[in-house]
Amino acid sequence: MKPFIVHRGKVAVLDWTDVNTDLIIPARYLKRIERVGYGPLLFADKRYIAGGAPPIDEPEKHGPLDPAFPLNRPENQGASVLVVGKNFGCGSSREHAVWAVAQGGYSVVIAPGKDEGFADIFEGNALNNGLLAVEVPQADWDRIAEIAGPGGAEAVIDLVKQVITVQNGPATVEVPFQIPDTRRERLLKGLDAISETLLLESDIDRYEQAAPAWIKPASA
């Protein structure tokens, strides 16, 4: 995983609440067994003019973009910071939703409300893919959305200082945020969780040896 230290990029706002994983990536695309190719599948049933969603095995073959979908607005093209409403990523545990957001070009997602911005599983999956999911207080979110809403805003997300700076023309907002230390550490170093855990292998062995007999599956 690539370390995440400071990210600089254009901001897009999708001001919808309860955006669920079926919306982020419709279930039919879960038939893929690959780990790449999810970018064009992000919001596949909203983003293209009806009938234009790509076939499952050919993500690049999609129809024209639907101008009514907020992320398709010209000023949102090339954005890498996504500002979203509450409870983003609710619904299923599919990591495909995070792959779609990340491969769709976003490095940071910002949602309002502590413990309310993201669905739990989505937040965990984001971490495992180096996608920074930041929750900021509603009032700060409102300030960000206000200056970024019209489009064309630039943001700097500094994970070392834990500060988001959004600038649009003369207007600037600076918002502090907090990511739990262990998570931050992993993102900053781009660490793979498995090798980290395997350092604790003797603890795992000991736990298994101490487990009661009934917990082992009977042989079926």
- Per CB under 8 A, residues contacting other proteins are 17-18, 20, 22-23, 26-28, 30-35, 45, 56-57, 86-87, 90-96, 98, 115-116, 119-121, 124-125, 128-129, 180-183, 193-194, 197-198, 200-201, 203-204, 207-208, 212-218, 220
Q: Over 67-131, what HEC string results?
A: CCCHHHCHHHCCCCEEEECCCECECCCCCHHHHHHHHCCCCEEEEECCCCCECHHHHHHHHHCCC
Distance, in Å, from the CA atom of 105 to the CA atom of 1, rounded to the nearest integer, reads 16
Q: Which is nearer to other proteins, 10 or 86 (CB)?
A: 86
Instruction: Choose between 113 and 151: whose C-beta lies nearer to other proteins.
Output: 113
Pick between residue 10 and residue 46 the one whose CB is nearest to other proteins: 46
Residues in the chain: 220
Cβ nearer to other proteins, comparing 91 with 104 = 91
| Cβ-based nearer residue to other proteins, 155 or 177 | 177
Distance CA 129, CA 192 (A): 10
Which residue is it, tokens 């292998």? 201
In the complex, least distance from residue 136 CB atom to other proteins, rounded to whole angstroms: 16
CB of 123 to other proteins, least distance (A): 8
* Shortest spacing between CB 82 and other proteins, in angstroms: 19
Whole-number Å distance between alpha carbons of 127 and 134 = 10
Which tokens sit at 106?
A: 């976003």
Q: In the complex, what is the shortest distance from the CB of residue 10 to other proteins, in angstroms, rounded to a whole number?
A: 26
Exposed, middle or buried: residue 25 (CB in 10 Å: 0-12, 13-18, 19+)?
buried
Q: How far is the CB of 218 from other proteins (least distance, A)?
A: 5
Shortest Cβ 142–other proteins spacing (Å): 15
Separation CA 86–CA 182 (nearest Å): 24
The nearer residue to other proteins, 136 or 153, going by C-beta atoms, is 136
